[in-house]
């Protein structure tokens, strides 16, 4: 399953890691472990944030994906299943609409 992982970093300890030069190595370690399909860093609500697209076979993988962010950066982590257009097409919304109309 394709997952959108939204990671939001608090000012601390992130600022400390930027100042001591360790932030890149910490980030790389986590990203190398996750092997995301895509990664985007941005600002969300005035806070440093990352959006990652990752693949999970099972919900039991959520802790392995979330804990490195929690433990390394004290980050907030949200996990959202997402679909490609072809996934949505396989859902057959037309049939669902007729069933529930």
Ordered by start, the domain boundaries in the chain are 2-100
Closest CA to 30 of 13, 50, 10, 44: 50
Q: Let me know: does 56 contact 1? Beta carbons within 8 Å.
A: yes
What confidence score (pLDDT) does residue 99 get? 95
Confidence of residue 18 (pLDDT cuts 50, 70, 90): very high
> How many whole angstroms separate alpha carbon 12 and alpha carbon 29?
19
> How many whole angstroms separate alpha carbon 67 and alpha carbon 73?
10
Class assignment of domain 2-100? alpha beta
| Residue range 86-90: mean pLDDT, rounded | 93
Confidence of residue 48 (pLDDT cuts 50, 70, 90): very high
What confidence score (pLDDT) does residue 80 get? 98
What confidence score (pLDDT) does residue 79 get? 97
Mean pLDDT of the chain, nearest integer: 97
């Amino acid at each position: 399953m394709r997952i959108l992982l939204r990671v939001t970093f608090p000012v601390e300890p992130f600022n400390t890691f930027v100042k001591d030069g360790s932030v890149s190595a910490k980030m790389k370690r986590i990203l190398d472990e996750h092997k995301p399909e895509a990664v985007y860093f941005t600002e969300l609500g005035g806070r440093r944030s990352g959006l990652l697209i990752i693949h999970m076979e099972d919900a039991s993988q959520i802790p392995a994906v979330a804990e490195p962010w929690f433990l390394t950066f004290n980050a907030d982590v949200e996990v959202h299943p997402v679909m490609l257009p072809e996934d949505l097409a396989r859902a057959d919304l037309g049939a669902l609409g007729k069933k529930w109309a």
